[in-house]
Structure 1
């Protein structure tokens, strides 16, 4: 039942969001920042909102409505349904959101960030010690996300095919429950779900840290890009997040770790250790669209074509744009 319920969730998300999108009237044009309301997605918990508040950069001249999702894939579904204006995700969700050839969004900026806590974990007491040991096992993964991608790449490196495992697509919370309940042998996930799994005694058998590019994409609805005021607001918000993380790195890690710990339910010392490690590996900062970033996502899309998850090759350039570059450089 757990597996079937997880597969139904994505379809349910879209069904629930469609009336919400209509009610929001998100396509209305805005003439000034005061007229703008940005509907922005967050994964796991509202970390971007929290870091802005912590750095005293949440006093935006426009309104921001944050919504929490379990993954970037759900954020892109919400964008497609018209319920979000701006989504943050890894390279993978926009690929699947654009797979029908009719995306209503564009990738407008690239946020460079850490790739830690992207892992394949096994429950306490498991005899599996590496990826090769997953052959024939039930392995949960978060579909159409970084977890899907790095699990596939880890299997290849171990000399295994995707068909060598019994792959089970699960949302993070469902995957945690399945891992703890013994209905799967391993789970590929990210972020808070990996932290929680370790708190429950899970151990790591594979990591996506050196597989993932560290490119996390900001995707905006096409309607947002038709309004100068909305474009300026998006650029300003993304730049503020970069500045907020710079503030955290400037001697405020311990205090922000307390904010993280409160929201992720982990010890403050562990939250601080993770935060320092993440910012050391790859400081969180945004950059305009580049050819290199587009090429990186193309490699990811091609891997999913090879896997057979995408029916045909997708040209990712079709949903990237430089429309925000000038505004972003101005505020950075």
Structure 2
């Protein structure tokens, strides 16, 4: 999703993604942006991905910013990797992810998307955990053990880095790729010895007695990308709508920080099955570590993602060296700068 910091879909996978989507409520590589030339966005529809418990939608609704002059068709996924698969399949216009998924989505050299904005956020709740009653208390004890992880996400990246810090190689563990919910079930069922995951699955794991044996908090950069399809980027009207939507999300997070933390915690607690006090405590810790904000693409953010790609290259997970700048653009920067300032 980073210290810094797949492949083409089969027709069957693309069809599955299309069926799985649930709606709620220039050249693509150009390096400069143009205004939409019109303030009427009523004919624009953006198909936008959201992750987990639909956090972006919740933020907009809570802040009263969900009534847009364009249509937004939201779809919820378990991770940013699945969102980018949907973009590649033509099922989404816009995705949000950590730094890791676009690396794998672009690995075959046929990326049909660009990173258009960067959201800074907390890196807490990105952990390697052992189940209740386990005798495993450190990363070094994972040698020879079955470790679940969420493939092509921050979990794979920080697990790799934490193993290195413990003097272990990836080949020293029996790595088992699992989606977050399946990973949690496997951890509780005893079919894996530890789990590298994030967000709700880590919250739930702790609620069921799991203990932390490694954290990605200081490994990950806190950069979370917003990606748009090349087709979306090519439309001036869609760029204007997307810039407005991202500015609304940014303002929504500011609204929550400005005295509405408990309201947000109540929404969070309902979806994560925590107490409001637990959700509030986690929110405050995350915002203290790194306030959630959305900004422009920058050279520093590209360098950060290149470090991630280089790590996966060293791991042997990529078919060849990847220049991440090929799927970054500043095409949205002008529109987004204006929208953020309004």
Question: Is the pair's TM-score, using the shorter chain for normalization, greater than 0.5?
Answer: yes
Correspondent of 1:34 among 42, 45, 54: 42
Aligned residues: 316
Q: Secondary structure at the match of 1:40?
A: strand
Correspondent of 1:266 among 269, 274, 277: 274
* Residues 1:61 and 2:83 are matched in the alignment: no
The answer on whether the counterparts of 1:30 and 1:230 sit within 8 Å (CA) in structure 2 is no
- Give the structure-2-normalised TM-score: 0.90
Tell me how far 1:20 sits from its aligned partner: 8.3
Find the counterpart in structure 1 of residue 315 from structure 2: 307
Find the counterpart in structure 2 of residue 284 from structure 1: 292
Correspondent of 1:192 among 187, 200, 205: 200
Which moved further from structure 2: 209-218 or 36-45? 36-45
Q: Can you give the 5+ residue segments of structure 1 that lack an aligned partner in the other structure? A: 1-9, 22-28
Distance 1:289 1:268, change over 3 A: same
Distance 1:155 1:41, change over 3 A: same
* Residues 1:208 and 2:216 are matched in the alignment: yes
Q: Which deviations, in whole Å up to 9, do the C-alpha atoms of 1:85-106 show, x marking residues without a partner?
A: 1000000000100111011100
CA distance in 2, matches of 1:14, 1:309: 23
Correspondent of 1:244 among 248, 252, 255: 252
The answer on whether the counterparts of 2:108 and 2:319 sit within 8 Å (CA) in structure 1 is no
Q: Can you give the 5+ residue segments of structure 2 that lack an aligned partner in the other structure? A: 1-8, 22-35
- Please give the residue correspondences for 1:122-201 in structure 2 after superposition, counting only pairs within 5 Å: 122-201=130-209
Q: Which deviations, in whole Å up to 9, do the C-alpha atoms of 1:234-256 show, x marking residues without a partner?
A: 11111111110101001110111
Correspondent of 1:228 among 221, 236, 240: 236
CA distance in 2, matches of 1:13, 1:46: 23
Q: Which deviations, in whole Å up to 9, do the C-alpha atoms of 1:33-69 show, x marking residues without a partner?
A: 1011111111111110011010011111011111111
Correspondent of 1:120 among 121, 125, 128: 128
Structure with higher helix content? 1
Tell me how far 1:18 sits from its aligned partner: 5.0
Correspondent of 1:79 among 81, 84, 87: 87
Tell me how far 1:30 sits from its aligned partner: 12
The answer on whether the counterparts of 1:142 and 1:170 sit within 8 Å (CA) in structure 2 is yes
For CA contacts below 8 A with separation 6 or more, give which structure has more relative contact order.
2
